[in-house]
Chains A and B, each alone.
Chain A
């Protein structure tokens, strides 16, 4: 069972959350070249190790936030501050 540290509600069971995927993706400018959009929509770093990812606390405060987690062990790591939650 993952215990997800919600910044508002504290550590809660994973069943209260929805996964939002890689938090480091940034939407390109509307007039960015097609290759930039292909990268954004389809390509992923898919790291084997620490990953900054989005979670949504649907059964709680209903906010989106970033969790840093190791994809090899599922261990929740302290945030390194490089990824911010998108609005």
Chain B
């Protein structure tokens, strides 16, 4: 792989940008790979990259039914953070955030990590107690957190309605300064280019249609580009985890739901922090192109449709206007939906499945994007060692039957409650 640098940029600029090499190959499938990863989004590509980089396993294929990053990697709202309360989540997402901080250098690809801060607004005295508790738990786990008063928030985010007679009065907020945004497409492309340069075959337009399982051990996959043998198989297809696991005869504690997001027309910089409110289920940030990127709740009914309905868009926009009245002059430019693996405790499933040599990373609920580097790292570790990394040891499939759920919200076994 030719490294990107100021010299390659200048050289190619002077020659009309027609000599840039392809970022990755487009090989024909081999008959057999040591490891086959199903899913060419951020998680699958990261898994392949870390398998090659950290464990020297380079005879690896990533199978993608569409194009790279065309699923949830390209549909999220690009927020990264690690402001979790429970230990397994806190350590896992903090590891992920640390990988984000140096990912552009690691991959030689600018993923545009922007530590602009993630602010959770609080609107009631009970919210303050909960935010303080979470902030203290984060700091005890070595994660940055700061409680901001209403005045500090008003000074930092001038167009937020901090007046006492606001529809949702703002009493303060919990800030994670290192949280922020990352350019999502660049994550897929960066991992793909780095994995490809280490010998990983990336096979697009290659949909897995079945699994070959012999006496309880997976030995390969059936695809639209022929059968491919595999020593081990990793599933990284969040949104459709249940569908792929079903090919191996496994039922998962997951329902698939549609989550919508939307962007306004682009404007000059107006918002330099990611602002969220748990009380009104709303989050907003401004992209580098200038669009306000917004999202809220699920549509709350099972769906594989990758599109949602208008009532949820109305909820999100009305929450936005209650907090930022001045945004009412903007037009909504585009809305879309992505399919979430909603697990029964709101936490992911990363580990071995009850078929030998079969592994998965999925069940991301609302938050898969920020987990991408850590998910790939521990998934690769789990595949290479046939045992979980300490960071994903708690995220087993068995935790549900064993009563070890990681229920961040304390809501019980309801997949649409998180």
CB pair A46–B255 under 8 Å, yes or no, is yes
Complex A-B, nearest 8 residue pairs according to Cβ-Cβ distance, in ascending order:
A42-B253, A46-B242, A42-B400, A38-B401, A43-B251, A48-B304, A19-B301, A42-B344
| Min distance, Cβ A55 to any Cβ of chain B, angstroms | 8
Q: A48-76 CB contact bits vs B (8 Å, 1 = yes)? A: 10010100000000000000010111100
Question: Which residue of B has the minimal Cβ distance to A67?
Answer: B301
A73: chain B residues at CB < 8 Å are 305
Q: A8-32 CB contact bits vs B (8 Å, 1 = yes)? A: 0000011100010110000000000
Binding site for B on A (CB under 8 A): 1-2, 13-15, 19, 21-22, 34-35, 38-39, 41-46, 48, 51, 53, 69, 71-74
B310 in the interface (beta carbon within 8 A): yes
CA distance A46 to B254 in the complex (A): 7
Name the one of B243, B255, B256, B311 contacting A21, with C-beta atoms under 8 angstroms.
Answer: B255
B413 in the interface (beta carbon within 8 A): yes
CB pair B416–A19 under 8 Å, yes or no, is yes
Binding site for A on B (CB under 8 A): 240, 242-243, 251-256, 300-305, 309-311, 344, 400-401, 413-416
CB pair A46–B416 under 8 Å, yes or no, is no
B253: chain A residues at CB < 8 Å are 42-44
A19: chain B residues at CB < 8 Å are 300-301, 416
A2: chain B residues at CB < 8 Å are 301, 309
CA distance A71 to B307 in the complex (A): 11
Residue from the set A1, A15, A39 with the largest chain B CB neighbour count within 10 Å: A15
CA distance A72 to B303 in the complex (A): 6
A48: chain B residues at CB < 8 Å are 240, 243, 256, 304
CA distance A38 to B252 in the complex (A): 11
B300: chain A residues at CB < 8 Å are 19
CA distance A74 to B310 in the complex (A): 13
CA distance A71 to B311 in the complex (A): 18
Residue from the set A35, A46, A72 with the largest chain B CB neighbour count within 10 Å: A46
A14: chain B residues at CB < 8 Å are 309, 311
| Min distance, Cβ B243 to any Cβ of chain A, angstroms | 5
| Min distance, Cβ A56 to any Cβ of chain B, angstroms | 12
Name the one of A1, A21, A34, A72 contacting B305, with C-beta atoms under 8 angstroms.
Answer: A72
Name the one of A43, A51, A72, A74 contacting B252, with C-beta atoms under 8 angstroms.
Answer: A43
| Min distance, Cβ B39 to any Cβ of chain A, angstroms | 16
CB pair A46–B302 under 8 Å, yes or no, is yes
A41: chain B residues at CB < 8 Å are 344, 400, 413
| Min distance, Cβ A78 to any Cβ of chain B, angstroms | 18
| Min distance, Cβ B195 to any Cβ of chain A, angstroms | 29
Name the one of A1, A72, A74 contacting B311, with C-beta atoms under 8 angstroms.
Answer: A1
CB pair A44–B254 under 8 Å, yes or no, is yes
A1: chain B residues at CB < 8 Å are 309-311
CA distance A47 to B306 in the complex (A): 15
CA distance A42 to B254 in the complex (A): 8
CB pair A15–B416 under 8 Å, yes or no, is no
| Min distance, Cβ A23 to any Cβ of chain B, angstroms | 11
CA distance A65 to B144 in the complex (A): 48
A44: chain B residues at CB < 8 Å are 242, 251-255, 415
User: Contacts A1-B311, A19-B300, A38-B401: A71 and B416 contacting too (C-beta < 8 A)?
Assistant: no
A-B contact pairs, 30 of them (CB 8 A): A1-B309, A2-B301, A19-B416, A21-B255, A21-B414, A21-B416, A22-B302, A41-B344, A41-B413, A42-B253, A42-B401, A42-B413, A43-B251, A43-B252, A44-B251, A44-B254, A44-B255, A45-B251, A46-B242, A46-B252, A46-B255, A46-B302, A48-B304, A71-B256, A71-B302, A71-B303, A71-B305, A73-B305, A74-B305, A74-B309
CB pair A72–B304 under 8 Å, yes or no, is yes
CB pair A35–B401 under 8 Å, yes or no, is yes
B400: chain A residues at CB < 8 Å are 38, 41-42
| Min distance, Cβ A9 to any Cβ of chain B, angstroms | 18
Question: Which residue of B has the minimal Cβ distance to A38?
Answer: B401
CB pair A51–B310 under 8 Å, yes or no, is no
B242: chain A residues at CB < 8 Å are 44, 46
CA distance A25 to B61 in the complex (A): 38
Question: Which residue of A has the minimal Cβ distance to B399?
Answer: A42
Question: Which residue of B has the minimal Cβ distance to A2?
Answer: B309
B254: chain A residues at CB < 8 Å are 44, 46
| Min distance, Cβ B298 to any Cβ of chain A, angstroms | 10
